Chains A and B, each alone.
Chain A
């Protein structure tokens, strides 16, 4: 899962990015509106965390422009908690909002919710053969036993599950699992796929040669 965080307060941006990375997300950051819009338009993020008050273009402006080309789920961070601000945000096309000051747990939960909704999934529980996944608790069970996955491995499983039945290309996986700071030239992706197959059964992820991977 790759996320863009747009926030102009450096200390807030740094800690948000760190916390999200530790949650297993690939995180890109922008500290002003112009860079934020550029990134948001250029990459298929799974979600965007967008502050309202930004130098350059503000959050509303970015949202309005982004909605012309992309449906990326957007979580607004706002210091204004009046109803009209919330209504404005939701009407402009935001998927959800969090009022500052917020708890990280709440931001995580809302992010998970908007990502799930954008993939048309309504529950946190997915069952594929003998594999069960709880996306809220980030737990994966195989043959009713909890399986330890690294954050990156979990992200791979979650992304594949959200796109169940579709062929997911290697490029897509690179885009969604690694952020701009990771080297995409490595064979890291093959390592993760191989590890997941070892833990959840070889048939869990099928390879479509020349196309990518797929979960039936």
Chain B
């Protein structure tokens, strides 16, 4: 089911279960404590009355109304004087009437009040209160008098004074009764209805359930709110991610809780999104630039051929058209080769040779290659090369050197010079190509190695695709090297290539 897969609902369910267990534990404990307290209270009352009855039973019957003033000290209720068994002092009574003074302990008119029953040693009943519930009598006789007076007596006398008599506590339906055997052998049963207490306990239980339920509801609501709050950043993150996957890369996650764990996650995601956006924008720009570069040669071919086909021409005119088309095609070929080279270098697919070779030899070959162009422009090339062996792809690095030299000649002043220097420095092979040309404007310097960068934003020659330095940079970096440029306008431009030695 979907609902159980949702973190929010799973958290909510676990939270609810734990809350229910805790509340139930508390509720049951509270109920038990209350119940024990109630019964203890009842038992105390019952014990007290057993004591009262015991005392009354062995008191000589009053002869005068002032007989209440006993010559001897009465023990506190529930206790017997321990100056020997009472039967040594008194004849066992055969009939018992509750004395006036103790009548308030047993209110006969109250059906739920305390009642008593006394059975003599010989098993004859010697007294009972009138309010003893009739239904209980048989029951009491059956189960209550398992403590047969004789047995009880024997038992008690067999271990006189040693083991304290344990009064029996019995529950019948809604009644609670205590049975005790006096040392003189009489069985005393004192009971009362516990209906009010049971009612009160039920009431307490209902209260506990109600309060527990209320707490559970409040807890669930609060928990739900907390969970929703904690989960909220996640839904915000996923909503943003959905928009981004739909193509809107400018979306960012709202970082209102930057300090929390989710806030940190969101920050990491945001920086990833930003990098993605930049990469996509660059890629888009690159594709658009590449398409743009292809538009001009295609325009040439289209206008040339359309003009040529407009009417009959002589052979020389057709030749001109074909030559122009060829130039355009060459330019496109060169552009496409550059684009492919860059794409391969970008993707790391370009397999570079890793062979040791003398870099100075490569450079002097390149100088030789560009010498005709330099002569044509009246530019002097000054080489200062120390033999240095490096490992790499000689052909690719020659491409870098030729490109730098071509630029240095092309953007030089007539009668200018190009200085080429190769030296070892801090464990690196350092190639410096410096020209005395027009220089590069400071604001353009950071973009020099960018794709389709041209100093004057126009085609200064069909051979200049604006990708040369970008390719140089890609090749040098594929060799683990660096390339830098510095320039002073109308004074000089210096390119420095650093490659690892060895």
Binding site for B on A (CB under 8 A): 8-9, 11-12, 14-16, 18-19, 22, 53-56, 58, 77, 79-80, 82, 99-105
Contacts and interface: CB of A to CB of B under 8 A. Distances in A.
B24 to A, nearest CB: 69
A22 B303 CA distance: 13
A15 B307 contact: yes
Chain B contact-residue range equals 20 to 34
12 contacts: A11-B304, A12-B303, A15-B300, A15-B321, A16-B307, A19-B306, A58-B457, A77-B299, A99-B295, A100-B295, A104-B303, A104-B310
B300 A12 contact: yes
A14 B327 CA distance: 14
A82 B298 CA distance: 18
B460 interface: yes
Contact of B300 (A9, A18, A58, A77): A9
Given A9-B296, A19-B307, A22-B310, A101 B302 contact: yes
B275 interface: no
A22 B311 contact: yes
B374 interface: no
Interface of B: 288, 292, 295-296, 298-304, 306-308, 310-311, 321, 324, 327-328, 456-460, 462
B292 A15 contact: no
B459 A15 contact: no
B307 A22 contact: yes
Given A22-B311, A55-B460, A102 B299 contact: yes
B458 A101 contact: no
B319 to A, nearest CB: 13
B310 to A, nearest CB: 6
Contacts of A103: 302, 306
Contacts of B303: 12, 15-16, 19, 102, 104
Contacts of A77: 299
Contacts of A12: 296, 299-300, 303-304
B457 A18 contact: no
Contacts of A54: 458
A99 B292 CA distance: 10
A22 B307 CA distance: 9
A100 B298 contact: yes
Given A22-B307, A53-B457, A58-B457, A79 B327 contact: no
Contacts of B460: 55
The 9 residue pairs across chains A and B that have the minimum distance between CB atoms: A11-B324, A101-B298, A100-B295, A101-B299, A19-B307, A79-B295, A15-B303, A100-B299, A55-B458
Contacts of B458: 8, 53-56, 58
B307 A104 contact: yes
Given A14-B324, A15-B300, A102-B299, A8 B306 contact: no
Nearest to B321: A15
Contact of A80 (B292, B306, B327, B462): B292
